[in-house]
């Protein structure tokens, strides 16, 4: 019987099943899927580091690699609109899972409605409450595709939920126990609306409609920043800093780079919180954020 055990282990499909090939649009999604799926998933990321998901064009090799994918976790970034139908044409068996399901989408910036032709804000991964919803959708899709490992997917989800709760609690504690000098923060690209909504803040975008701001827009932003005493301009590494530098020079402030597309989601959220804490006057709580998220 002992001699048969190695052979039984080799033949067992549950123990030797190939990982489920899945694809995601951006790096933070890889963190979510990998956290839930563990060794049972192999994750392809379409938007490469340093690229902007608004107008990303996948390489021919990336499209070819999708031939083996069983699931595509869509998140609503603009490049998906023209490309998801092409991915389905290249791989008719590909199941597209909408991870925005159950989430109330908001406009990209104040004054823009989601029914005016503008795409709703896709940055739902920057809100811990919304990440919990996305994680449930990912968990359920993986269980449906690979029921043999359902228990593992549920455990992975539970562990990810704990991580999300830790991140959320750390940011809430920092912002709620400190007297903020202001609640508005200046950004080049309006990527942080969901983050702001989760914590009672308000982003002031320089860019509107994915276009470089003209002189009139810059003048308005500079006047608003001076009126509210804003001294930091946040910019993402994928965008030009020219307009941000001009605003910072006019208000006597500085440009700070923060990355909403970090693959290490907890560290990326920590970096955003740290930057906002410095800008909004929460310096005394920075170490608590760092310690609690590690």
281: CB partners within 8 A, 6+ apart: 178, 179, 180, 181, 182
Helix 286-293 with 150-176: angle, nearest 10 deg: 170
How does residue 291 score in pLDDT terms, banded at 50, 70 and 90? very low
pLDDT value of position 16: 56
More confident residue, 254 or 284: 254
Would you give the DSSP letter of residue 186?
A: E
pLDDT score of 292:
43
Instruction: Calculate mean pLDDT across residues 27-31.
Output: 98
**190 shares its domain with 143:** no
| pLDDT value, residue 229 | 85
In which band, very low, low, confident or very high, does the pLDDT at 177 lie, cut at 50, 70 and 90?
low
pLDDT tens figures, 106-164: 988 654 444 445 679 999 999 999 999 999 999 999 999 999 999 999 999 999 999 99
pTM: 0.86
- For position 192, which CATH number holds? 3.40.50.1980
- Please tell me the predicted confidence (pLDDT) of residue 179: 65
**233 membership: H or E segment, kind and range:** strand 232-235
* Cα dihedral 117, 205, 164, 261 sign: positive
Work out the number of other CB atoms within 10 angstroms of the CB of residue 243.
Answer: 20
Q: Give the Cα-Cα-Cα angle 179, 183, 188 (nearest 5 degrees).
A: 140
62 DSSP assignment: H
If asked whether residues 80 and 216 sit together in one domain, one would say: no
- Same-domain pairing of 127 and 221: no
CB 218 within 8 A of CB 200: no
Domains: count for the chain = 2
Residues 151 and 185 in one domain: no
Comparing 125 with 284, the larger pLDDT belongs to: 125
pLDDT digits (tens, 9 = 90+) for 184-216: 899 998 999 999 999 999 998 988 777 778 888
Question: How many whole angstroms separate alpha carbon 293 and alpha carbon 253?
Answer: 29
In a domain, 140, yes or no: yes
Answer whether residue 32 is part of any domain: yes
Q: Are residues 32 and 165 in the same domain?
A: yes
SS3 (DSSP) at 157: helix
Q: How many other C-beta atoms lie within 10 A of the C-beta of residue 214? A: 10
* Domain annotation covers residue 65: yes
Q: Are residues 8 and 149 in the same domain?
A: yes
283 and 156, same domain (yes or no):
no
Query: Which of residues 248 and 284 earns the better pLDDT score?
Result: 248
Give the mean model confidence (pLDDT) for residues 69-93. Answer: 96
Instruction: Give me the domain span that covers residue 99.
Output: 4-169
Which of 135, 169, 203 is the last residue before a domain boundary?
A: 169
pLDDT of residue 183: 84
Q: Does residue 197 share a domain with residue 118?
A: no
Residue range 93-110: mean pLDDT, rounded: 91
Q: At residue 294, does pLDDT exceed 50?
A: no
Q: Which helix (H) or strand (E) holds 184?
A: strand 184-187
Residues 83 and 58 sit within 8 Å (Cβ to Cβ): yes
Whether residue 127 is contained in a domain is answered as yes
**What distance in Å separates the CA atoms of residue 193 and residue 22, rounded to the nearest whole number?**
28
CA separation for the pair 159, 162 (Å, rounded): 5
């Amino acid at each position: 019987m002992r001699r048969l055990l190695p052979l039984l282990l080799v033949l067992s499909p549950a123990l030797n099943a190939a990982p489920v090939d899945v694809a995601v649009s951006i790096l933070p999604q890889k963190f979510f899927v990998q956290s839930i799926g563990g060794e049972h998933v192999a994750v392809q990321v379409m938007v490469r580091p340093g690229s902007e998901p608004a107008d990303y064009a996948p390489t021919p090799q990336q499209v070819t690699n999708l031939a083996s994918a069983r699931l595509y976790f869509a998140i609503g970034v603009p490049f998906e609109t023209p490309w998801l139908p092409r991915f389905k044409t290249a791989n008719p068996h590909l199941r597209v899972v909408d991870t925005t399901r159950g989430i109330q989408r908001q406009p990209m910036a104040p004054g823009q409605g989601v029914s005016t032709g503008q795409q709703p804000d896709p940055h739902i991964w920057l809100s811990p409450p919304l990440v919990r919803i996305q994680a449930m959708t990912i968990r359920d899709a993986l269980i449906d595709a690979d029921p043999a490992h359902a228990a593992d997917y549920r455990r992975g989800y539970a562990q990810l939920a704990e991580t999300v709760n830790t991140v959320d609690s750390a940011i809430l504690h920092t912002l709620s126990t400190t007297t903020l000098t202001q609640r508005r923060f200046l950004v080049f690209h309006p990527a942080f609306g969901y983050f702001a909504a989760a914590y009672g803040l308000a982003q002031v975008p320089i860019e509107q409609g994915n276009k470089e701001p003209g002189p009139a827009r810059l003048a308005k932003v500079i006047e608003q920043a001076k009126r509210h005493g804003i001294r930091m301009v946040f910019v993402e590494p994928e965008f030009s800093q020219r307009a941000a530098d001009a605003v910072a020079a006019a208000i006597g402030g500085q440009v700070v780079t923060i990355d909403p597309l970090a693959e290490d989601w907890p560290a990326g959220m920590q970096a955003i919180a740290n930057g906002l804490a410095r800008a909004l006057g929460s310096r005394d709580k920075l170490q608590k954020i760092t310690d609690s998220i590690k």
